[in-house]
Amino acid sequence: MPEMTYLEAINTALREEMSRDPSVFVLGEDVGVFGGCFGVTQGLLDAFGPERVLDTPISETAIIGASVGAAAAGLRPVAEIMFMDFMGVCMDEIFNQAAKIRYMFGGKAAIPMTLRTPCGAGLGAAAQHSQSMEAWFAHIPGLKVVMPSTPADAKGLLTSAIRDDNPVIFIEHKMLYGVKGSVPDGEYAIPLGKGDVKREGSDVTVVATSLMVHKALAAAETLAEEGVEVEVVDPRCLVPLDQDTILKSVAKTGKLVVVHEAVKSGGIGGEIAAIVAEEGFDFLDAPIRRIGAPFAPIPFASNLEKAYIPSEETIIEAVRSLA
Amino acid sequence: MALSQEKLLELYRKMVTIRVFEENTAELFAKGEIPGFVHLYVGEEATAVGVIAHLKDHDYIASTHRGHGHLIARGGDVKQMYAELFGRKTGYCKGKGGSMHIADLSLGFLGANGIVGAGLPLIAGAAFACKYRGDDGVAVCFFGDGASNRGTFHEALNMASIWKLPAIFVCENNMYAISLSQELHQNIDDVADRAAAYGLPGISVDGNDLFAVYEAAEEAVKRARNGDGPTLIESKTYRWRGHFEGDPVVYRTEEELQAWKKKDPIERAKKRMMETGVLTEEEDKAIWEEVRSEIQEGIEFAKNSPLPEEESLLEDVYCE
Ligand SMILES: Cc1ncc(C[n+]2csc(CCOP(=O)(O)OP(=O)(O)O)c2C)c(N)n1
Ligand SMILES: [Mg+2]
């Protein structure tokens, strides 16, 4: 299996899908000549030309609105919103248009579009360029929400997202772009809604998303030295959410920590905890622990940003408190 | 309008301060001493200075991601600015905001902004507040050519126009929105043309000519203070540096940059001031030297300032 970065994996999926299906096209700010703000669409313009790789004006409302319309008219747009924080600008197009059209029209329309966007803090980019707002989208019936943590997952899940006939919000983490991992040869698709056990363990289940999967795995290594075996579950998709994989793990360990980078309160961790409390109460030997960011915007100063982002140490502490 | 010698020298010094501030910021960023994103104003100094020259203490400004020049032109404190860029407790925003969010409410400076085009409706609101209170305050929004493609531009101009708000919308047309040249992102040469769609005056000026900007802004501010409504000013200029520090700048040519450097707004102002006997070579040298030492002091202040305490993380989310 070849090694590639998360960024290269996403770029490869875009190339493969564009080669396979002429109805797939890419649009967004600076995705052409510049190759995307983070470089994800590098080379696509040369490979597929300006008809299929569209540099847009700074008009997020129209980028997503036009994607919805093009999708309704039979194309498969893959739109990039440069930072997740800018999605407020196109929120109506996402939640009133893309998400609801099929239902409102009695199933007569499909909106097969993908919206890719990077989330996450860690670059000192402050309050309007660092957020993780996946819970907003997971709350809206009609959208699928994907949050890959590894290059292999990113490639297989983006492939599925593009092939899916529903609008998919595909959330990349900007601090993962440079992370390497092995990726299966050739084209493959990972079904949306299938979680993955990233590490098996018998003592405590840690459900983590996106970048936090890596912190949970690192925490698990430290804890293993103390004799605590952590099972790390990555749901990979928030909608549809693979409840079975989570419940099966909790049935085995009896203990659950949920961790995400987004603000803890109102976050997807609450949903996961609630599902386990409702469906797996009898499995639990201890209270569920949630880890997320504090209830504050993301600060600029490096020391504050570091304190803000949930850390490996916080995960270790939470697991220790249960183990 | 006859600019007094004193006022002219003040405006010139501000342009020099912006230049030296930004050049030092570029160096500090390259050395890794400033985290996050910084967008520099080098080459565009005449716009901020020529417009803000007309503002009174109770007026308002909304700035952009490329905001250092606006705040310096408004009389911002370079010590607190650097401290903010360094993420220190003594910074303008206690280290919470950084370059993209520097604000000074005591100067009516409603902040740099990380969201392109966000300032336009905010400034319609500030202009409304001025009108509502019945003082003669005005509100100025700076924004880029790229921002003029956002819905907020169109909505804010229309609203300001129908309500006759004392607003001045200043488009800094530096011909690029990151990698997209103006001709790739809009089908017009003059952003000022868009004013017609909303029934307000739109004027294009040579943004590298301090005097041209000054005169256009004088007229617009007068209109606003007289209750005659908003104006759109398009200031045609050029950014010398990349979109952000670290930008490989693959989308434009070196020749284009060099041609614009020949139209250096500071050199042009200096030349005119020397021709009219307002400035001598020695005085010019002295200004640059004084500014350089002021900037060095600002940097030292920032470097010697403490980091914000961790407890401050949860402060200022709400008013108490
Ligand atoms: C709503 C929104 N979309 C995109 C961006 C990313 N972005 C930051 S600056 C910029 C270009 C702005 O161009 P322009 O308005 O011309 O200002 P300039 O940078 O040239 O001064 C873009 C696309 C953003 N910050 N906010
Ligand atoms: Mg511009």
Rounded Cα distance, B121 and B136, in Å: 20
Q: Where are the alpha helices (DSSP H) in chain A?
A: 6-20, 44-48, 60-72, 91-92, 101-104, 134-138, 151-163, 211-225, 243-253, 268-279, 302-308, 312-322
Of A131, A125, A138, A115, the closest CA to residue A60 belongs to: A115
- What is the pLDDT, as a whole number, of residue A323? 87
Report the alpha-carbon angle B72-B50-B247, nearest 5: 60
- Structure-token match 């230049």, residue found: B19
For the residues B156-182, what does the mean pLDDT come to? 98
With b for 16 or more beta-carbon neighbours within 10 A and e for fewer, the B141-160 pattern comes to bbbbbbbbbbbbbbebbebb
- What is the pLDDT, as a whole number, of residue B2? 76
* Assigned token pair, B26: 């570029």
Is the shortest distance between the CB of B174 and ligand 1 below 6 Å? yes
A132 by Cβ neighbours in 10 Å (0-12 / 13-18 / 19+) ranks as buried
Asked if residue B119 lies in contact with residue B110, where contact means CB atoms within 8 angstroms, the answer is yes
**Bridge-partner residues for A263, per DSSP?**
A293
Cβ of B313 under 8 Å from any chain A Cβ?
Answer: yes
Catalytic residue among B251, B252, B272, B292: B251
* Assigned token pair, A289: 């622990």
Q: pLDDT tier at B92 (50, 70, 90 boundaries)?
A: very high
- Structure-token match 């004084």, residue found: B290
- Structure-token match 């400076």, residue found: B109
For an interface test with B, give the residue of A300, A309, A311, A313 to mutate (most B CBs within 10 A): A300
Cβ–Cβ of B251/A33 closer than 8 Å? yes
Stated length of chain B: 320
Looking at the CA of B47, name the nearest ligand: 1
Contacting residues of A for B312, CB less than 8 Å apart: 304
Radius of gyration (Cα) for chain A, nearest Å? 19
Interface TM-score (ipTM) > 0.90: yes
Report the alpha-carbon angle A262-A41-A43, nearest 5: 160
List pLDDT tens digits, range B243-293.
999 999 999 999 999 999 999 999 999 999 999 999 999 999 999 999 999
Q: Which residue of A has its CA nearest to B95?
A: A301
**Bridge-partner residues for A78, per DSSP?**
A26, A114
**Domains of chain A, first to last:** 3-182 (3.40.50.970), 196-322 (3.40.50.920)
For the residues B295-314, what does the mean pLDDT come to? 98
Looking at the CA of B69, name the nearest ligand: 1
Q: pLDDT tier at B1 (50, 70, 90 boundaries)?
A: low
Rounded Cα distance, B121 and A304, in Å: 31
* DSSP tag of A41: T
Residues 6+ apart with CB under 8 A from A8: A151
* Assigned token pair, B255: 């020749």
Report the alpha-carbon angle A301-A307-A309, nearest 5: 100
Which phi and psi angles does B49 have, rounded to 5°? -70, -45
What's the gap in Å between A58 CA and the centre of ligand 1? 7
What's the gap in Å between A1 CA and the centre of ligand 2? 44
Q: How many Cβ atoms are within 10 Å of A290's Cβ, its own excluded?
A: 18
Cβ–Cβ of A34/B178 closer than 8 Å? yes
Q: Return the H-helix or E-strand segment holding B177.
A: strand B176-177
Nearest-CA distance A176 → chain B (Å): 17
Pick the CATH number of B5-305 from 3.40.50.970, 3.30.70.20, 1.10.10.10, 3.40.50.1000: 3.40.50.970
Is the shortest distance between the CB of B8 and ligand 1 below 6 Å? no
Sort strands A3-5 and A180-182 into parallel, antiparallel or unpaired.
Answer: antiparallel
Domain ranges of chain B: 5-305
* Assigned token pair, A211: 């970048």
Is B28 a residue whose pLDDT tops 80? Answer: yes
Nearest-CA distance B207 → chain A (Å): 22
Cβ–Cβ of B185/A296 closer than 8 Å? no
Looking at the CA of B43, name the nearest ligand: 1
Residues 6+ apart with CB under 8 A from A117: A80, A81, A82, A83, A84, A87, A169, A170, A171, A172
B12 given a catalytic annotation? no
The average confidence (pLDDT) of chain B is 98
For the residues B148-169, what does the mean pLDDT come to? 98
pTM over 0.95: yes
Report which protein residue has its CA nearest ligand 1's atom 21.
B144
Is the shortest distance between the CB of A86 and ligand 1 below 6 Å? yes
How many CA atoms, within 13 angstroms, populate the side-chain half-sphere of residue A37?
20
Is B54 a residue whose pLDDT tops 60? Answer: yes
- What is the pLDDT, as a whole number, of residue A1? 85
What's the gap in Å between B149 CA and the centre of ligand 2? 11
Is the shortest distance between the CB of A38 and ligand 1 below 6 Å? no
From its phi and psi, is residue B12 left (phi > 0), alpha (psi between -120 and 50) or beta? alpha
Sort strands A168-173 and A114-119 into parallel, antiparallel or unpaired.
Answer: parallel
Rounded Cα distance, B34 and A117, in Å: 25
Contacting residues of B for A85, CB less than 8 Å apart: 114-115
From chain A, which residues contact B within 8 Å (Cβ)?
Answer: 29-30, 32-34, 37, 55, 57-61, 85-86, 88-89, 123-129, 294-297, 299-304, 307-308
Contacting residues of A for B317, CB less than 8 Å apart: 295-297
Residues in chain A with pLDDT < 70?
Answer: none
% of chain B beyond a pLDDT of 90: 99
Q: Distance between the two ends of chain B, CA-based, in angstroms? A: 47
Which phi and psi angles does A256 have, rounded to 5°? -135, 130
Angle, in degrees to the nearest 10, between helices A312-322 and A211-225: 50
Widest pairwise Cα distance in chain A: 58
Of A174, A177, A176, A195, the closest CA to residue A238 belongs to: A195
Chains A, B: CB contacts within 8 A come to 122
Asked if residue A112 lies in contact with residue A165, where contact means CB atoms within 8 angstroms, the answer is yes
Is the shortest distance between the CB of B26 and ligand 1 below 6 Å? no
147-186 of B, contacting A, C-beta below 8 A: 147, 149-151, 177-180, 184-186
List pLDDT tens digits, range A106-153.
999 999 999 999 999 999 999 999 999 999 999 999 999 999 999 999
